[in-house]
Amino acid sequence: MSTTARTVLFHEIGGPEVLTIEDVTVPDPGPGQVAVRVEALGLNRAESLFRAGTYYYQPALPASRLGYEASGLVEAIGEGVTELAVGDPVMTGPGIEMSAQGVYAERVVLPETAVVRRPASVDAVTGAAAWLTYTTAYGALLETAGLKPGDHVLVTGASSGVGTAAIQVARRIGAIPLATTRTEAKRQRLLDLGAAEVVVTGEADGSELVAKEARRLTGGRGVEVIFDAIGGPAFRPLADALAEGGSVVVYGWLDRRPAEIPWNWPFTLHTYANMTLTTTPGGRRRSTAFLNAGLSDGGFRPVVAEVFDGLDRIADAHRLMDSNRHTGKIVVRV
Ligand SMILES: NC(=O)c1ccc[n+]([C@@H]2O[C@H](COP(=O)([O-])OP(=O)(O)OC[C@H]3O[C@@H](n4cnc5c(N)ncnc54)[C@H](OP(=O)(O)O)[C@@H]3O)[C@@H](O)[C@H]2O)c1
């Protein structure tokens, strides 16, 4: 029996004020689908970019939905669903197309491949802050760059959701994370999270300073891996932080200006899209196993910047995201 759910929609591109909350019909789950009662949403930069029309794909307007990450409980399952059962705690994420399937809502129906099990010991707020950040850090650092114990990894924009997870993923395997931020006030927080060193760049492009510090901290050798969310003009001088033969994984593009690639230095440049890993059955299994092992034994503690209570606070949550004042994930309890 279909029902309705309060759902965040937007009808035009713009700032947080374009987000509205409307009653939307939720169908029964069809074959291979799962209905989830949402308990909490985790915001991503992607959603702010999507709302503003600057993400890598465009919203279908009017009445676009929004959101990749939620945690909740399975409310109903469709025919043929065998991996999940009613009442299971879950997280959403893999393979979601936001306009049609966005999870900012009280209830959602998704393909079972977009829903993963959440350990029973993990509460809804923690679950909403976990999936995308840790699986991105896992896939990029371990499967793509081949980060090894003892390696140094330079994490730029390290106060981001993905950056804070990357620090913990690096520590979990015995690698040494160096972090950058533009904001002095975030230094101690990043050290507390496990960064071995933090370089504060300030608003101006501080990549030359970052590269100099990275070389000093590695005895002149440079870091084995750079994990970069920023790109732009800061990219070329940043590459000077890299050890000969190292790897750069570019996973974000927070500075939209063109980036120059240094050609006269042997290294491997990877671009990374988490969906490519997590929409394959093997990638979903490996990344979820890695995440849930860390969540279950307490090794992974998602950093929650702020929790907003109620779907009605969604525009305020987006305003905080756009302000860049946060460290870690912004969560809305539904
Ligand atoms: N490839 C993938 O699969 C994948 C997956 C997830 C996310 N992403 C991408 O990863 C990036 C980060 O996402 P998120 O949700 O984790 O971020 P977030 O939590 O919103 O944090 C971004 C942080 O980066 C810093 N920053 C923002 N704009 C910047 C700029 N122009 N130059 C330098 N630093 C800047 C800010 O920290 P400071 O003020 O401390 O510097 C900010 O707090 C986004 O580009 C997102 O699209 C990619």
Question: What mean pLDDT is predicted for residues 277-288?
Answer: 95
Atom of ligand 1 nearest to the CA of 161: 16
Q: Is the pLDDT of residue 78 over 70?
A: yes
Per-residue pLDDT at 86? 98
Distance CA 274, CA 248 (A): 16
Q: Looking at the structure, tell me whether residues 123 and 140 fall in a common domain.
A: no
Asked whether residue 288 is assigned to any structural domain, the reply reads no
Q: Looking at the structure, tell me whether residues 215 and 248 fall in a common domain.
A: yes
Looking at the chain, the whole-number percentage of residues with pLDDT higher than 90 is 92
Domain end, chosen from 275, 290, 325, is at 275
Q: Looking at the structure, tell me whether residues 310 and 235 fall in a common domain.
A: no
How many domains does the chain divide into?
2
Q: Which residue minimizes the CA distance to atom 24 of ligand 1?
A: 157
Distance CA 144, CA 129 (A): 23
Q: Write down the mean pLDDT value for the chain.
A: 95
Q: Looking at the structure, tell me whether residues 170 and 219 fall in a common domain.
A: yes
SS3 assignment, position 79: coil
Q: Which pLDDT band holds residue 315 (cuts at 50, 70, 90)? A: very high
CATH number where 175 lies: 3.40.50.720
* Continuous segment of H or E residues that includes residue 293: helix 281-297
Q: Looking at the structure, tell me whether residues 120 and 141 fall in a common domain.
A: no
Query: pLDDT digits over 36-62, tens only?
Result: 999 999 999 999 999 999 999 999 999
Which residue range(s) make up the domain with 228?
134-275
Q: Is the pLDDT of residue 322 over 70?
A: yes
Asked whether residue 46 is assigned to any structural domain, the reply reads yes
Asked whether residue 13 is assigned to any structural domain, the reply reads yes
Asked whether residue 287 is assigned to any structural domain, the reply reads no
Asked whether residue 298 is assigned to any structural domain, the reply reads no
Å from CA of 24 to ligand 1 middle: 31
Q: Is the pLDDT of residue 264 over 90?
A: no
Which backbone phi and psi does 319 adopt, to 5 degrees? -65, -40
Q: Looking at the structure, tell me whether residues 106 and 167 fall in a common domain.
A: no
Q: Looking at the structure, tell me whether residues 119 and 140 fall in a common domain.
A: no
Count CB-CB contacts under 10 A for residue 164. Answer: 30
Q: Which residue minimizes the CA distance to atom 17 of ligand 1?
A: 160
Query: pLDDT digits over 174-185, tens only?
Result: 999 999 999 999
Neighbouring residues of 62: CB distance < 8 A, sequence distance ≥ 6: 11, 12
CATH number where 91 lies: 3.90.180.10
Residue from 203, 254, 323 whose mutation best tests the ligand 1 pocket (most atoms within 8 A of CB) = 254
Q: Is the pLDDT of residue 204 over 80?
A: no
* Continuous segment of H or E residues that includes residue 199: strand 197-200
Q: What is the pTM of this model?
A: 0.93
Q: Could you tell me if 238 and 267 are in contact, meaning their C-beta atoms sit under 8 angstroms apart?
A: no
Asked whether residue 280 is assigned to any structural domain, the reply reads no
Residue from 144, 155, 160 whose mutation best tests the ligand 1 pocket (most atoms within 8 A of CB) = 160
Asked whether residue 182 is assigned to any structural domain, the reply reads yes
Q: Looking at the structure, tell me whether residues 180 and 213 fall in a common domain.
A: yes
Ligand 1 proximal residues by C-beta, below 6 Å: 44-46, 132, 136, 157, 159-162, 181-183, 186, 229-230, 251-255, 272-274, 321, 324
Q: Looking at the structure, tell me whether residues 151 and 138 fall in a common domain.
A: yes
Q: Which pLDDT band holds residue 262 (cuts at 50, 70, 90)? A: confident
Atom of ligand 1 nearest to the CA of 252: 45
Q: Is the pLDDT of residue 136 over 80?
A: yes
Question: What mean pLDDT is predicted for residues 293-322?
Answer: 96
Q: Looking at the structure, tell me whether residues 328 and 241 fall in a common domain.
A: no
Q: Looking at the structure, tell me whether residues 32 and 97 fall in a common domain.
A: yes
Atom of ligand 1 nearest to the CA of 329: 19
Å from CA of 20 to ligand 1 middle: 25
Per-residue pLDDT at 1? 67
Distance CA 230, CA 237 (A): 13
Asked whether residue 85 is assigned to any structural domain, the reply reads yes
Q: Looking at the structure, tell me whether residues 161 and 253 fall in a common domain.
A: yes
Q: Is the pLDDT of residue 2 over 80?
A: no
